[in-house]
Amino acid sequence: MIERRRSARARVIYGGVIAYNGRQSTVDCVIRNFSPDGAKVEFHNPALLPDVVELLIAKKNRAFPAKISWRQASEAGLTFRPVETDIPISLDWARRLRVCESERRELQARIAQLLSEH
């Protein structure tokens, strides 16, 4: 078999989420191999997904914009797309981020309080 990938993929078993439609729609998946350039994922009915998605990997605390390169019955190959770093975020996203950061600080303070009580 001719290898067409730019970099070798490591075998992994990560839980992941495929997001699309502005992260309004998601599908759980299992990541079977991974490289800086792409990944192979397994899930139910990959034909339902659009060609451009995001792969969210909690274990790596990262999101990867990707294009679906190929599809089979229960798996698909993703090619990661370059991240454009100079794109400004929308005001709505900035507000959501501020709320999430505030909630995170409140939860951390509550955890610290609970731990100090024991």
In the beta sheet, which residues pair with residue 14? 31
Are 93 and 36 in the same domain?
no
What is the pLDDT, as a whole number, of residue 48?
Answer: 82
Residues of the chain with pLDDT under 50: 1-3
Are 78 and 92 in the same domain?
no
**CATH code for position 75:** 2.40.10.220
Are 31 and 61 in the same domain?
yes
**What six digits make up the tokens of 18?**
């495929």
**What six digits make up the tokens of 43?**
């899930």
Give the number of other CB atoms < 10 A from CB of residue 27. Answer: 17
Total structural domains in the chain?
2
Burial grade of 95 (CB within 10 A; 0-12, 13-18, 19 or more): exposed
**Structural domain containing residue 96:** 88-118
Are 14 and 66 in the same domain?
yes
Are 63 and 95 in the same domain?
no
Tens digits of residue pLDDT in 95-108 = 888 899 999 999 99
Question: Cα–Cα distance between 53 and 63 in angstroms, integer?
Answer: 10
* pTM higher than 0.85: no
